[in-house]
């Protein structure tokens, strides 16, 4: 109830600041940082853009088992989402750097070094994931990169390695080709991701 009260107060404040007759907009320095301000009737007011607040209906669990399943999914998203975002950054950085290299030989050499570095950095983290978290990570990588893990491996390391890793994943009942469907079967995951990203969960 307290949270809803704060949300309502912040919403009212936001609307008020946007609708008042602002006489002058300027910037004010606070501890070395510029802050946008407006001057209203001789009073200097900080001009703050509030983050979007997402409000979903309260979840009604059928039983305790369903509640535990949901709490486990929240925990798994919190654990795997940062990894998916790190992978996205690594993909972007690698792609941008490859574009600067003059020939195919140098690109292949760089990709070998990247692969070694990623294995060294992420193998300990991946070993700590449960099977369910690993499958969730594959989906979240697709969400973050707009490409399945299989497509990413194929793009950077070729069809042979992509096929090898896909076969290896299939032995454990997983698939690197798994896609993310936020409007359909992954709706509940998407809701949790949005709340986690926004600091509401």
Mean pLDDT, to the nearest integer, of 170-180? 78
Most confident of 64-73, 143-152, 155-164: 64-73
pLDDT of the residue at 192? 92
Question: Of the candidates 168, 188, 173, 199, which has an alpha carbon nearest to the alpha carbon of residue 69?
Answer: 188
User: Rounded to whole angstroms, how far apart are CA atoms 188 and 44?
Assistant: 43
Mean pLDDT, to the nearest integer, of 123-142? 85
> Is 110 exposed, middle or buried (CB count within 10 Å of its CB: 0-12, 13-18, 19+)?
middle
Share of the chain above pLDDT 90, in %: 15
User: Rounded to whole angstroms, how far apart are CA atoms 10 and 191?
Assistant: 22
Using a cut of 0.75, tell me whether the model's pTM lies above it.
Answer: no
Q: Which residue has the tokens 């940062």?
A: 82
Mean pLDDT of the chain: 78
Confidence of residue 75 (pLDDT cuts 50, 70, 90): very high
131-145 helix and 149-157 helix, angle to the nearest 10 degrees: 70
Least confident of 27-31, 43-47, 51-55, 115-119: 27-31
Confidence of residue 16 (pLDDT cuts 50, 70, 90): very low
Share of the chain above pLDDT 70, in %: 81
């Amino acid at each position: 109830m307290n949270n809803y009260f704060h949300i309502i107060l912040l919403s009212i404040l936001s609307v008020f600041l946007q609708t008042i007759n602002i006489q002058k907009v300027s910037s004010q320095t606070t501890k070395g940082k510029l802050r946008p301000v407006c001057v209203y009737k001789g009073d200097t007011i900080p001009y703050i853009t509030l983050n979007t607040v997402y409000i979903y209906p309260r979840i009604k669990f059928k039983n305790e088992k369903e509640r535990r399943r949901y709490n486990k999914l929240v925990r798994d998203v919190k654990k795997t989402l940062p990894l998916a975002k790190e992978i996205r950054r690594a993909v972007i950085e690698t792609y941008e750097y490859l574009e600067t290299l003059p020939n195919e030989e140098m690109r292949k050499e760089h990709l070998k070094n990247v692969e070694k570095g990623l294995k060294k950095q992420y193998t300990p983290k991946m070993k700590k994931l449960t099977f369910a978290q690993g499958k969730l990570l594959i989906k979240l990588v697709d969400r973050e990169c707009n490409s399945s893990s299989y497509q990413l491996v194929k793009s950077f390391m070729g069809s042979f390695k992509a096929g090898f890793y896909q076969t290896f994943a299939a032995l454990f009942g997983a698939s690197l080709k798994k896609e993310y469907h936020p409007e359909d079967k992954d709706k509940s995951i998407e809701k949790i991701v949005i709340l986690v990203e926004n600091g509401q969960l």
